[in-house]
Amino acid sequence: MHNLGVKGKELFLLAVFRRRLEYPALKRAVRAQQSLFNANVVLIEDKASGTQLIQELITEGCDGVTRYQPTTDKVMRLHAQTALIENGFVRIPETAPWLAEYLHEMTVFPKGKHDDQADSIAQFLDWHKKPGPHDGYIEWLRRKAERIRSPEKHREPPKVNYAIGSMEWQAEQQEKRSARLAAAAGTKL
C-alpha cells in the first residue's frame, strides 16, 4: 500500500505499508491508512480480492474508494510512467525505514522476486494522469477561486464606448447586426 500526496504537478510518496495480510486484516489496514493520512482517494485494483474489498468498503461507507481497472500488463504500465518519474514529478523521501527495500524492488523490476510496489506505483501514476469526469468543473472552480483571491490579476479590460455616429461605432454596430443575423440563421460567422 502506498500513501501518496499531490501538490500541483508533483506527486509525493509519503509512506509504504507492506505486509502480507489475510483479508479481514487487509480491510482494517486500508481503513487505518486512509484515516492516518486523511486520504480522499483509496485506489484499489478491481481484480481478485480487490473487487470484494471495493464492494465491502463502499457498502460500509468508506469514502473515496476508487476502482482501478488495469488495461495493460505491469511492465507496460510502469514503462508508460517513466517520463513522469524521470522528469522529477515523483518525489520520494531521502530517508525512510522502507526506502532501501522500495528502491531495490523498483530498480530490479520486472526481474525481481517481488513486484507489488512497482505495480502499485505504476497503477497510481496511470490513474492520476487520466482525466476524471469532473476535471472541467474542478478547473472552473479553481479559476473562480483564483479570481476571488486576486481580483486585480483577473479584471476584465474596460469596455470601450465609441461616440455614436463615429466610424468605430458604425463598425461595431455592423458586427452586432451580422452576429444577430448569423445566430438567427443558425450559423456562426
**pLDDT the model gives residue 189:** 47
Q: Grid coordinates 468543473 are at which residue?
A: 137
Residue pair 17/117 in contact (Cβ under 8 Å)? The answer is no
Q: Closest by alpha carbon to 84, among 54, 124, 31?
A: 124
Residues 51-96 have pLDDT tens digits of: 999 999 999 988 889 999 988 999 999 999 999 999 999 999 999 9
What is the CATH code of the structural domain delimited by 2-129? Answer: 3.30.420.240
Residue pair 112/68 in contact (Cβ under 8 Å)? The answer is no
**pLDDT the model gives residue 13:** 92
Burial annotation 173-184 (CB, 10 A radius, 16+ → b, else e): eeeeeeeeeeee
Residues composing the chain = 189
Query: Is the pLDDT reported for residue 107 higher than 80?
Result: yes
**pLDDT the model gives residue 134:** 64
Q: Closest by alpha carbon to 11, among 81, 104, 103, 101?
A: 81
Residues 149-164 have pLDDT tens digits of: 876 665 666 677 888 8
**pLDDT the model gives residue 50:** 92
Residues 42-52 have pLDDT tens digits of: 999 999 889 99
- Can you give the residue ranges of every domain in the chain? 2-129, 156-189
Tell me the average pLDDT of the chain.
Answer: 86
| Cα distance from N-terminal residue to C-terminal residue, the chain | 55
Rounded to whole angstroms, how far apart are CA atoms 80 and 68?
Answer: 16
**Pick from 21-25, 118-122, 158-162, 166-170: least confident:** 158-162
Query: Is the pLDDT reported for residue 106 higher than 80?
Result: yes
Q: Closest by alpha carbon to 95, among 183, 13, 176?
A: 13
Q: What's the sign of the alpha-carbon dihedral 25, 28, 30, 32?
A: negative
Residue 6 banded pLDDT, cuts 50, 70, 90: confident
Q: Can the peptide bond before residue 110 be classed as cis, meaning omega within 30 degrees of 0?
A: yes
